[in-house]
Amino acid sequence: MRPLLIAGLAWQDFRNDARLSACAVLALVAVIAPLLVLFGLKFGLVGSLTERLQRDPGVREIIPLGGGRFRAEFIEELAQHPRVAFAIPRTRQIAATAELLLPAHGRGLTVEMLPTAEGDPLLAQVAPPDGLQQVVLSFTAAEKLGARAGDELQASFSRQQAGQMQWRRTRLQVSSVLPLAAFERDGLFASLQLLEAVEDYRDGRAVAALGWQGEEQGSASARVYPALRLYARELNDVEPLRQFFAERKLLVSTQAAQIAQVQSLSRNLDLVFWIIASLAVAGAVAAIAAGAVAAVERKQRELAVLRLLGFGTAALLLFVMLQALYSGLLAAAVAGLLYLLAEHGLNRLFMQVPGEFASHLLPMHYLVALCAVLLASTAAAALGGWRVARIEACQGIRDV
Amino acid sequence: MIRLDGVRKTRGQGAQRYSLEIDRLHLAAGERVALVGPSGCGKSTLLDLLALVLAPDAAQGFALGGEDVAGLWRARQLDRLASWRSRHLGYVLQAGGLLGFLDVRGNIRLPRQLLGLGDDGSVERLAEALDVHDQLGKKPATLSIGQRQRVSCARALAHGPALLLADEPTASLDPVNADRVMQLLLREAEACQVTCVVATHDEALAHKAGLTVLRMACRRDTDGGVTASLERAA
C-alpha cells in the first residue's frame, strides 16, 4: 500500500467529481457552521458573564453579618484555607473613619478606613501600604482631596473622653490611588496596625507607636474583631465558604445566588448544546456513511479497475475514507469562515463592552472541532465504505 | 509461463449453470495466442482466471511464471495474488478500463507508480509507439474509443509485465482501426518479450496478427447448463 499515491488518487477523483464533492462538503457545512455558532454563543455569553463576575472581587467577597467575635488566630487560619484568596480582620466600624486634609489644597474629607495587606483583591496591581504612615486612597477620595500618589495627607482622629472632644493628628503618605472600578466609595486602605491604633485611641488606650497617650494596652492576643474582609479564591469557592460559616452558625452575606444563576445558565446551555450537537453529529455521521455507501456503488467500476491493478481491500477503503476526510477538511474550513463572519456580526450587534463577546471561540475550540469533524468523517466513511471489501476485480471491469 | 491442468470454474446452477473446463493449457514465455470463439464460450472467464481475479473451483495444476496460483487461492492469499497481478500482469479491457479521474499520462503511469517504479520515459515512449502521445494531458472521456484502447494497451505494458491479457481489445473498433491497434499492441508486446493471450471473436484478425489460435467451444449438457472448453489444446 502506498498511502501518498492513494491520497493523490483520492484527491484527483475528489476533484474530478467536483459537483458531488461540493454537495458532500456543503452538507457537512450545514451541520458544522450552526454548531460552531451555537457553541460560540454559549462560550461567548457565559464566558463574558463569568469573566464579568471574576473581574469584580466584590462578587467573591463574603461579608459576616451581625456582630461577630473573631480572633486573630481564626482569621489567620482562614487566610490559609485553600478556597480563600484574602482574609484580614476589620476593626469596629465606628472606629474606622478618618478625617483627611491635603494641606496644599486645603480640602478635607471624611473617609472609611479599610485594613489591607499583600494579596488584597481590591488593590489588584497596586502595592499595599507599608507601615503606619502609608495609605492607598480610593479614586473618589483622591479626586475630592485633589491628592495624588506621593502626596502627604494630614489625618485626624477624634474621641470623646470625660465629655471632652480630643483630637490626634498624624501624617500619612499616599502610596497609590486605586482605579475607580476597584472601589467606588471614599476610602482609605491602610495597614491593620493603623486601624488597630485608631481603634485603641478611640477606646482611650495609649498608642505608643504614634505617641498618643491613654490607658496602658492590655494583651494583644486578647483582641477580638467584630468583622473581617474575606474573599474567595474562585467563584466556585464562594458557596463552600458560605457553608463553612453556616456550619459554625455564622451568618454571612455572599453573591452565591448570582454566581449560581450564571453557572446554571452555563449548565443549561451546555445541555442544550450537547443535545443539538448529538443530534446533528448523528445526522452528519449517517449522511457521511450513506455518502460513502453511494460513492462505493457509484465508483464500483473504478474501484474494480484499481483492484485489478493491485489495490488491496485496505487500500480501497483508504481511498474512500480519504475522500470523506477531504470533505471534512474543506467543510471545517468553510464552516470556520462562516462562523467567523457570524461571530463578527453577533459581537457587533450585541456587545458594547470592550473585551466582552456575544460569540467567541478559542483556537483550542477550532482545533477540537476540526479533529471531531475529521474523526466523525473518517469513522462514518469507514462504516459506509466497508462494502469495498466485497468488490471483486472481475466485477464491473467489463463496463469501463 | 502458463500451466493450467484440470482447471474448473462453474457459475450458477441447473439450466443457468455455466462451466469452464480447461484440461490443459501450457504456454511458454513470449508465446502469443488468441482465444477465439463465439460470445459466451468462456474466453473472458478464462482471461479472468489467468488475471487472478477469479478463483478456480478446482485445479490439478495452475501455475503462472512458476507461482503456484492454485495454492495461493486455496490459502486465500489475496494480497500475494494482488501483488503478483500488480507486478507481472497487464490487462487490456474491452472498453479500455481507464480511470476517468486521471488523465492519459496518469492512467499509463499508474501501474508503475503502484510498484514504486520511477519515471524512465516508458510512458512517453509507449504513448509515442501507440500514437497517443498528443493525448497525454487529456481525460479519457475526451478520447475516441480507438484512442482509449491504445491508452489501455500502453497502461498494460507500462510496468513491463511478463503476461499480457487482452479481452476483445478491438471489438469496438472498425476493421482498419482494429487491425492497427492489434498490430501496435503485439509489436510492443513482442519488443518486450511478453507472453500474450488475446481473446477475440475475429479469427481472421488473429491469424493476420500472427497469433496462435486456440478455439473455445461450448456444449449444452443434459441438465440444460453450458460447459465451455478449449477445443484444441496448445
Over residues A53-65, the mean pLDDT reads 86
Contact B44 A398 (CB under 8 A): yes
How distant, in Å, are the alpha carbons of A111, A140, B73, B127 from that of A186?
5, 6, 94, 92
- Please answer yes or no on whether B86 and A393 come within 8 Å at the CB atom: no
Residue A91 sits at φ, ψ, to 5 deg, of: -85, 175
If you search the block for the grid coordinates 454563543, which residue do you land on? A41
Distance from CA of B36 to the nearest CA of A (A): 18
Let me know if B26 is exposed, middle or buried by CB neighbors in 10 A (0-12, 13-18, 19+).
middle
Of the listed ranges B148-157, B168-177, B198-207, the one predicted with least confidence: B168-177
The answer to which of A49-63, A162-176, A214-228, A234-248 has the lowest mean pLDDT is A214-228
Q: What is the per-residue pLDDT across A98-145, written as a single tens digit (0 to 9) for each? A: 999 988 878 889 999 999 999 999 987 888 998 888 999 999 999 999
Give the per-residue pLDDT at A398.
61
CATH number for B91:
3.40.50.300
The mean pLDDT of B86-105, rounded to a whole number, is 90
Domain that holds residue B160: 28-54+77-213
B82 contacts in chain A (CB < 8 Å): 307, 310-312
- Is A17 in the B-facing interface, judged by CB distances under 8 Å? yes
Q: Answer yes or no: do A8 and A104 share one domain.
A: no
A272 in a domain, yes or no?
yes
CA distance B127 to B151: 7
Residue A12 in contact with partner chain B when CB distance is under 8 A: yes
Domains in chain B: how many in total? Answer: 1
Confidence band of A327 (pLDDT split at 50, 70, 90): very high
Residues of A in contact with B44 (CB under 8 A): 398
Looking at the domain assignment, is residue B6 inside a domain?
no
- Percent of chain A scored above 70 by pLDDT? 96
**Does the beta-carbon distance from A400 to B54 stay under 8 Å?**
no
Query: B 74-93 residues with CB below 8 A of A?
Result: 78-79, 82-83, 85-87, 91, 93
pLDDT range class, residue B182, cuts 50, 70, 90: confident
**Cβ-nearest to A398 among B93, B99, B101:** B93
How many structural domains comprise chain A?
A: 2
pLDDT of residue A46: 79
- Tens digits of residue pLDDT in A352-390: 777 778 888 889 999 998 998 889 888 888 887 777 777
For residue A20, list chain B residues with Cβ-Cβ distance below 8 A. none
Q: Is residue B9 part of a domain?
A: no
Quote the Cα angle for A233-A238-A239, to 5°: 145
pLDDT band at A175 (very low <50, low <70, confident <90, very high): very high
Q: Characterise A126 by phi-psi region: left (phi > 0), alpha (psi -120 to 50), beta (else).
A: beta
Residue A92: the pLDDT is 87
Burial A31-46, CB ≥16 within 10 A → b, else e: bbbbbbbbbbbbbbbb
Residues 6+ apart with CB under 8 A from B70: B7, B56, B59, B61, B62, B63
A60 in contact with chain B, both atoms CB, cutoff 8 A: no
Q: How far is CA B211 from its chain centroid? A: 14
Residue A45 shares a structural domain with residue A126 = no
Question: What DSSP string runs through A21-81?
Answer: HHHHHHHHHHHHHHHHHHHHHHHHHHHHHHHHHHH-GGGGEEEE-S---EEHHHHHHHHTS
CB atoms within 10 A of CB A57: 18
Domain membership of residue B69 (yes or no) is no
Nearest CA in chain B to A394: B53
Distance CA A177, CA A157 (A): 22
pLDDT of residue A2 exceeding 80, the answer is yes
Residue A25 lies in a domain: yes
**Interface residue A398 vs chain B (CB under 8 A):** yes
Query: Cβ of B101 and A2 within 8 Å?
Result: no
Identify the residue with better confidence: B140 or B186. B140
Report the pLDDT value the prediction gives residue A42, as an integer from 0 to 100: 83
Answer whether A305 sits within 8 Å of B111, measured CB to CB: no
Interface ipTM: 0.87
Does residue B37 sit within a domain? yes
Q: Which pLDDT score is estimated for B232?
A: 59
Q: Across residues A245-273, what is the average pLDDT?
A: 86
Query: Across the interface, which of A2, A311, A394 has its CB nearest the CB of B48?
Result: A394
Residue B127 lies in a domain: yes
Give A398's contacts in chain B (Cβ within 8 Å).
Answer: 44, 93-95, 167
Q: Is B198 exposed, middle or buried (0-12, 13-18, 19+ CB in 10 A)?
A: buried
Give A172's contacts (C-beta < 8 A, 6+ positions apart): A100, A133, A134, A135, A152, A153, A154, A155, A188, A190
DSSP β-bridge partners for residue A252:
A64
One-letter amino acid of B216:
M
CA-CA-CA-CA torsion for B71, B74, B75, B79, nearest 10 degrees?
80
Question: Is B71 domain-assigned?
Answer: no
Judged by a CB distance cut-off of 8 A, whether residue A5 touches chain B is: yes
**What 3-state DSSP class applies to A8?**
helix
Q: Distance of CA B100 to CAs A262, B134, B167, Å?
A: 58, 18, 20
Q: Tell me the C-alpha distance between B59 and A381, whole Å.
A: 39
Q: Are residues B211 and B198 in contact, defined by beta-carbon separation less than 8 angstroms? A: yes
Reported confidence tier of residue A83, pLDDT bands at 50, 70, 90: very high
* Min Cα separation B226/chain A (Å): 20
CB contact under 8 A, B93 and A12: no
Classify residue A59: in a domain, yes or no. no
Count of residues in chain B: 234
Kindly state whether residue B18 falls inside one of the protein's structural domains.
Answer: no
Q: Which residues pair with B32 in a beta bridge?
A: B196
Q: Distance, in angstroms, between A32 CA and closest chain B CA?
A: 29
> Do the chains contact at A12 and B97, CB–CB below 8 Å?
no
Q: Is the pLDDT of residue A219 over 70?
A: no
Q: Is A2 on the interface with B (CB under 8 A)?
A: yes
For residue B213, the surrounding DSSP H or E stretch is: strand B212-220
Is A181 in the same domain as A265? no
Q: Is A311 within 8 Å of chain B by CB?
A: yes
Residue A256 inside a domain? The answer is: no
Residues A93 and A222 in one domain: yes
Mean pLDDT of all residues in A234-238: 90
Beta bridge partners of A134: A173
Which pLDDT value is given to residue A302?
Answer: 87
What cell does A276 get? 443539538
Cell numbers that stand for A258 in this block? 448570582
Q: Is the pLDDT of residue B139 over 90?
A: yes
Instruction: State which residues form the domain around A223.
Output: 89-227
- pLDDT of B103 strictly over 90: yes
Cβ separation A307–B82 shorter than 8 A: yes
pLDDT at A396: 61
**Distance (Å, whole) CA B105 – CA B119:** 11
Q: Is the pLDDT of residue A220 over 60?
A: no
A275 shares its domain with A395: yes
User: Nearest CB to A400: which of B87, B96, B111?
Assistant: B96
Rounded to an integer, the average pLDDT of B22-28 is 90
Taking only the tens place, the pLDDT of each residue in B50-72 is: 999 889 999 898 999 888 989 98
Report the share of chain B in percent with pLDDT over 70: 99
Q: Which amino acid is at A284?
A: A
Confidence at residue B177, expressed as pLDDT on a 0 to 100 scale = 74
Residues A304 and A385 both lie in one domain: yes
The predicted structure's pLDDT at residue A395: 67
Judge whether A170 lies within some domain.
yes
The predicted model gives A66-76 an average pLDDT of: 87
* Residue B196 covered by a domain: yes
Given CB atoms, is B94 within the 8 Å cutoff of chain A? yes
- State the smallest CA–CA distance between residue B78 and chain A in angstroms: 8
Count the Cβ atoms, other than its own, within 10 Å of residue A163.
5
- Confidence grade of residue B234 (pLDDT, cut at 50, 70, 90): very low
Tell me whether B168 touches chain A (CB under 8 Å): no
Contacting B residues, span 192-211, partner chain A, CB-CB under 8 Å:
none
pLDDT tens-digit series, residues B106-134:
999 999 999 988 888 889 988 988 888 89
CA angle B205–B23–B202, rounded 5-degree value: 10
- The answer to whether B99 contacts A2, with C-beta atoms less than 8 Å apart, is no
Of B100, B110, B116, the CB nearest to A309: B110
Q: Taking CA atoms, what residue in B is nearest to A314?
A: B79
B113, A392: Cβ pair inside 8 Å?
Answer: no
CA distances for A52 relative to A55, A324, A338, angstroms: 5, 42, 28
The residue-averaged pLDDT of A304-331 equals 89
Burial of A334 (0-12, 13-18, 19+ CB in 10 A): middle
Residue A399's pLDDT band, with cuts at 50, 70 and 90, is low
What is chain B's mean pLDDT, rounded? 87
Cross-chain CB nearest to A397 (options B97, B100, B101): B97
Which residues in chain A have their CB less than 8 angstroms from residue B91's CB?
308
Whether the pLDDT of residue B233 is over 50: the answer is no
